[in-house]
Structure 1
Amino acid sequence: MNLPQIRLQTQQAKINMTTTPPQQSIEQPQAELDLQNAKLEMKIERTPAKLTIDQTKAWEDMDLKHIFRRIEEAAQLGYEDWLEGIARRARQGDELMRIEEGGNPIADQAKVNSETPPKEFNIGWVPSHFSVKIHYEPGDVNIKWRHERAIINAKINDPKMDYKPGKVEIQMVQYPDIKIDFENLTFKGLNFEMNI
């Protein structure tokens, strides 16, 4: 028995893809930096400290005097004794002038003129307290700074970029195809019959 048959034969499409990957390169040049360091000036003004020690009085208390001081004291003592002598003689002259008023002025004056004054004795310190004079003036330090800002010049360099885009190439290797085949297939129409 001949059965009608339809045969289909297909062929799939085939493509070929060739890809070229993209390429990118980035180069970053270093920044250019110009640094100029500013000068720094420091000025120091110093007033030195001053210490004064005066031992003159201490040396005088120990009877170790400068010759000029001895001459000055001797002159002063002589001047005072001279004035005292003038005053004593004037006083005693006045007493003798009034001898008629009574008393014994000649004997009294002889006694006063012949006696030396009594010696005084007391406890003391050699040299005496605070005979060494100390004077101190503190020093001073004045520091002045002068500085300028540093000069910084910076130049930024842009990055260098190189980009090559990728490609995709598509090629048709095999086209699609369909084949239809008939067997034992007849078409019957009005008053005719036909093999397909």
Structure 2
Amino acid sequence: MIPPLQIVTQPTLLEIDSGRAGLSIKQPRGEIQIETSRAKMDITQPRPEMQIDQHDAWRAYNGGTALEMNRQIYSELPGLFLEGLAKRVEQGNRLAAFHLQGNSIGEIYGADWKRDPFVEFRAPASYDNVSIYVQPHKPEINIQQIKPVIQSEQHNPEIEYQPGYLNISVKQYASIKFIPPNIDMTM
């Protein structure tokens, strides 16, 4: 019988050592400057137009123009004539009845001491004889816009990187040993 051959193997042993990588990112804020100016504004307010018509007031105060006064007198004359005529007819009728007491010429004409009214040549007075017309005007507004001046400055990010490490080393190499059997040669 042949003694068995002995085989001894040894595996490879690796040692791995690693460290993490580091990454740092900083981003400073950007700077912005905005300069604005007031808009140029021009506002003009035209005065309102006002018209005052006092013609009717002057007609009530002094009769107005000569033509208007003559028209007023002419329009009133027929009525005044009829009133005067009616008064004279009444006085004549009283004189015709002279036989009645108190109908004497002295009493009829003596009581008539008031002057006959003249035609009213003025227009009637009223609170709305003066007319006022106001024409307002809208304001004229001109605005010239001025754009703002914007300046910005950006900052690049600050990146810091610390690399990691990886060390791989062999602690033990693989090996195979063949151990022969002890053969007794003495036999």
TM-score scaled by length of structure 1 = 0.57
Contact 2:24-2:161 within 8 A present in 1 as well: yes
Name which of 152, 158, 179 aligns with 1:160.
Answer: 158
Equivalent residue of 1:58, what SS?
A: helix
1:170 aligns with 2:168: yes
* Equivalent in the alignment of 1:190: none
Contact 1:49-1:136 within 8 A present in 2 as well: yes
Alignment of 1:37-186 (within 5 A): 37-58=36-57, 60-61=59-60, 63=61, 65=62, 126-127=124-125, 131-183=129-181
Please list every run of 5 or more consecutive structure 2 residues that lacks an aligned counterpart in the other structure: 71-116
**Cα distance in structure 1, aligned partners of 2:6 and 2:125:** 150
**Cα distance in structure 2, aligned partners of 1:8 and 1:60:** 150
Give RMSD over aligned pairs: 3.8
| Cα offset, 1:56, TM superposition | 4.5
Provide, for residues 151-171 of structure 1, a one-character-per-residue CA deviation record: whole Å limited to 9, x for no partner: 111111110111111110012
**Cα distance in structure 2, aligned partners of 1:119 and 1:44:** 60
TM-score scaled by length of structure 2 = 0.59
Aligned length: 139
* Equivalent in the alignment of 2:34: 35
**Cα distance in structure 2, aligned partners of 1:145 and 1:176:** 92
**Cα distance in structure 2, aligned partners of 1:119 and 1:185:** 182
Aligned-partner residue type, residue 13 of structure 1:
T
Contact 1:40-1:148 within 8 A present in 2 as well: yes
| Cα offset, 1:119, TM superposition | 6.9
Question: Hey, which bits of structure 1, 4+ residues long, moved more than 4 A?
Answer: 118-121
Q: Which protein is richer in strand relative to its size?
A: 1
| Cα offset, 1:177, TM superposition | 1.5
Contact 1:59-1:127 within 8 A present in 2 as well: no
**Cα distance in structure 2, aligned partners of 1:142 and 1:120:** 54
Provide, for residues 36-57 of structure 1, a one-character-per-residue CA deviation record: whole Å limited to 9, x for no partner: 1122121110012233333342
* Equivalent in the alignment of 1:104: none
Please list every run of 5 or more consecutive structure 1 residues that lacks an aligned counterpart in the other structure: 78-117, 187-193
